[in-house]
Amino acid sequence: MKIAILSFAHMHAHSYAHSLLQLPDAELAAVWDEDAERGQAMAQQFSARFVPDLDALLKEEDIAGVIVTAANADHRDLVISAAQAGKHILCEKPIATTIADAQAMIDAADAAGVKLMTAFPVRYSPPTRRVYERVRAGEIGQVLGAKCTNHGSMPGGWFTDKEKAGGGAVMDHTVHVADLLRWMLEDEVVEVYAEIGNLIYPDIHIDDCGLLSMRFASGVFATLDTSWSRPPIFPTWGDVTMEIVGQDGVLILDAFRQNVEVYSQTQNRIYWAHWGSNMDLGMIADFVRIIREDAPVPITGYDGLKAMEIALAAYRSAEEGKPVSLPLT
């Protein structure tokens, strides 16, 4: 199956490209990028064709699907163009920067009869799936609350441009955990309270940290510490952790802790070498599977919209200094 990548603006594109190279039944056939120099370099690195004309690429009948890894604000136009060309789509998170854009993408995919999947690879982490199975099986009884974190490194570039990114660390790092909570609880957030700051990198003029409190329709509450607080010398890029408290027990998840601590003389640094399963590979393989089998999309555009909506509600709450009700109007 031939898949194209639209833009290498997001660093996750590299991992997705490597994942495609590992699949025996899929091929990274083509690359388009708004930055032609970058696109040519990436196409050469991954033994794919660089196609400078987006319309020409999307008209190629043997391209079955595309992976959109552009800057957040550019997702809408690329997804709609791909949908109208009849291509199935995996879109990087957050799905968009506004509710209207996300809904337009969902509508375009529905109208064209193509699949739109949101890239939430943490669902494919084996530790995460084990926690999900235990929550759904009721092993800790009725869930009462959850304490979560998603810390990361400050990525720089367009991530610190509000027009392109839609927000800073809160936009970047809220959506993963928000999606996991919705998935595990099968419930929707109905209220968000947040405090957001620019406390770590004052020169970037965008939020680099935030604390969110979320209330679900069932009464479950959750907190999320989201930030770009990991310095460049930190052994890994960041974390996703969850402590889920139930009436009969507690589940603790540390999704990225399958690491060996390496003290490297040659690199003159300490880093964590990952030994666990490749969740990106699992997600890309599932994207190929649902196209091949015409199967239901496991992580829909609507899932992407609802996770992003929680981040947008956090920004509104911090601006107004009070809790904000969902869905947003």
**Digit-coded pLDDT (tens) for 209-222:** 999 999 999 999 99
Beta-carbon count within 10 A of 295 CB = 11
pLDDT higher than threshold 90 for residue 268: no
Judge contact between 255 and 122, C-beta under 8 A.
yes
List alpha helices for 167-227, DSSP H. Answer: 169-185
pLDDT-derived band of residue 271, with 50, 70 and 90 as boundaries? confident
Percent of the chain with pLDDT over 70: 100
- Which candidate, 7, 65, 71, 100, places its Cα nearest to that of 308? 100
The one-letter amino acid at 12: H
Q: Check residue 269 and report its DSSP letter.
A: E
Angle of helix 75-84 relative to helix 99-112, nearest 10 degrees?
10
Q: Which phi and psi angles does 31 have, rounded to 5°?
A: -130, 135
Write down the mean pLDDT value for the chain: 96
**Digit-coded pLDDT (tens) for 280-320:** 999 999 999 999 999 999 999 999 999 999 999 999 999 99
pTM, rounded to two decimals: 0.96
Q: Check residue 62 and report its DSSP letter.
A: T
3-state SS class at 136? helix
Percent of the chain with pLDDT over 90: 91
Structure tokens at 306: 């609802």
Q: What gap in Å lies between CA 14 and CA 85, rounded to an integer? A: 24
Q: What gap in Å lies between CA 261 and CA 124, rounded to an integer? A: 23
Mean pLDDT for 173-193 is: 98
Q: What gap in Å lies between CA 204 and CA 240, rounded to an integer? A: 24
Question: Could you give the domains of the chain?
Answer: 2-119 (3.40.50.720), 123-277+308-325 (3.30.360.10)
Q: What gap in Å lies between CA 294 and CA 89, rounded to an integer? A: 13
Q: Which phi and psi angles does 310 have, rounded to 5°?
A: -65, -40
Mean pLDDT for 117-127 is: 97
The one-letter amino acid at 239: D
CA distances from 161 to 155, 212, 288, 316 (A): 11, 22, 32, 18
Judge contact between 33 and 7, C-beta under 8 A.
yes
